[in-house]
């Protein structure tokens, strides 16, 4: 988190719009942190989006003349997302996905490993560690001021009040199997 993934997705969508390409943006319906019908970055940038409950909805709602399909918070989608993304790409659409590759436990998150494997291009953005200022590739979930346990639920939608960016050596997960 806090690496600028959504901000980069919005930037790419805006460039496609400047190029007069038809764009559709989708987000998981469970992500209602800022607005139900917008993708918004932590710094306040936003763009209109369609909330959906599953990957298949993206395929169903994508219009024939759409050139670019953007999907935010891809890690929250079901494991059908890579198949949907492949179908869209095979139909000639440019697909842009943004999401976390690792969950708060430091393990591959949802459909992201498969999406990373099938992508033509991957840009891995990193945040700044809240402890050391080093590059941060992990997301530390904080519950009542303490690191969340390995046994806590994987999905918990939140922002700065619940998560911190951490470098590997400062990422702590109590109860994580060695």
User: Interior CA angle at 139 toward 116 and 131, to 5°?
Assistant: 135
Q: Tell me if 162 sits within 8 A of 156, measured CB to CB.
A: yes
Which residue numbers are catalytic? Answer: 73
Kind of pairing between the strands at 23-28 and 68-71: parallel
Residue 140, C-beta contacts closer than 8 angstroms, at least 6 positions apart:
104, 130, 147, 163, 164, 165, 166, 170, 171, 172
Cα 108 from Cα 80, distance rounded (Å): 16
Query: Which distant-in-sequence residues (6+ apart) come within 8 Å of 146 by Cβ?
Result: none
Whole-number Å distance between alpha carbons of 178 and 174: 11
User: Contacts by 116-123 with C-beta closer than 8 Å and gap 24+?
Assistant: 118/82, 118/85, 118/86, 123/8
């Amino acid at each position: 988190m806090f690496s600028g993934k959504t901000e980069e997705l919005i930037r790419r969508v805006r460039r496609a719009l400047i190029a007069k390409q038809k764009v559709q943006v989708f987000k998981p319906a469970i992500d209602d942190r800022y607005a139900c019908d917008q993708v918004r970055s932590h710094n306040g940038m936003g763009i209109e989006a369609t909330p959906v409950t599953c990957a298949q909805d993206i395929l169903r709602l994508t219009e024939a003349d759409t050139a670019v399909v953007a999907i935010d918070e891809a890690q929250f989608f079901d494991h059908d997302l890579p198949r949907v993304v492949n179908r869209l790409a095979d139909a000639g659409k440019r697909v842009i996905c943004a999401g976390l590759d690792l969950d708060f436990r430091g393990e591959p998150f949802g459909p992201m490993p498969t999406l990373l494997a099938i992508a033509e291009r991957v840009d891995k953005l990193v945040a700044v560690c809240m402890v050391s200022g080093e590059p941060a590739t992990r997301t530390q979930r904080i519950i009542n001021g303490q690191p969340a346990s390995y046994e806590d639920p994987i999905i918990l939608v939140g922002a700065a009040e619940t998560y911190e960016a951490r470098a590997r050596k400062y990422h702590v997960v109590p109860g994580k199997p060695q």
